[in-house]
């Protein structure tokens, strides 16, 4: 692999790894070790916030995930359902569609998780505009890699609809 490609894939792997490590830093887990720390969700009134709550079921994150889901469905032109299995655990075959589409959805959920991790203990939830900028960032980082490999069509199969939707081409 080219050095640039290694840098990008390790960056994305790091995001996923960091994300999974968050399981050890939920309010409930911290509360067990330090009882003075409140076990509740920082974003909503939920009194006990476990990993699934703080990554998925919290109403404020449901709103964020719903907007991500709506956006990727519009971009791909079909109904995409994001679930903890597909979005958090990256069991991507359940989305169906082409490999390019599944890679696109994998990137979309990866960037969403990065944004959730950034606002882990914050009151506010991630913003859709930050997620969109993240998507643009990854799509542009990946372009020279596919060009260098001599297969720009692969990049197009992953990002073509996104770029067309947002007029980036
Ligand atoms: Zn919550």
Q: 127-141: string of b/e by CB count within 10 Å (b at 16+)?
A: ebeebeebbbebbee
Per-chain mean pLDDT for the chain: 89
Q: 29 alpha carbon to ligand 1 midpoint, in Å?
A: 15
Cα of 130 vs its chain's centroid, Å: 11
Q: 119 alpha carbon to ligand 1 midpoint, in Å?
A: 12
Does the structure show a pLDDT above 90 at 18? no
Mean of pLDDT values over 37-54: 93
Give the CA dihedral 62, 102, 10, 56, nearest 10 degrees: 10
Does the structure show a pLDDT above 80 at 41? yes
- The domains of the chain are located at 13-165
Mean of pLDDT values over 150-159: 92
Q: 58 alpha carbon to ligand 1 midpoint, in Å?
A: 4
């Amino acid at each position: 692999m080219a050095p640039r490609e290694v840098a990008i894939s390790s960056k994305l792997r790091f995001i996923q790894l960091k994300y999974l490590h968050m399981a050890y830093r939920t309010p409930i887990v911290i509360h067990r070790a330090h009882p003075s720390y409140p076990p509740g969700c920082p974003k909503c009134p939920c009194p006990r916030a476990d990993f699934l709550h703080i990554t998925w079921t919290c109403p404020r994150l449901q709103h964020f995930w719903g907007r991500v889901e709506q956006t990727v469905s519009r971009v791909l032109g079909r109904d995409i359902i994001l679930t903890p299995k597909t979005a958090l655990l990256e069991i991507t075959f359940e989305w169906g569609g082409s490999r390019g589409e599944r890679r696109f959805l994998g990137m979309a959920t990866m960037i969403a998780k990065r944004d959730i991790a950034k606002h882990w203990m914050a009151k506010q939830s991630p913003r859709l505009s930050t997620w969109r900028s993240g998507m643009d960032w990854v799509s542009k980082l990946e372009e020279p890699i596919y060009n260098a490999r001599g297969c720009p069509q692969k990049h197009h199969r992953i990002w073509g609809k996104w770029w067309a939707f947002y007029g980036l081409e």
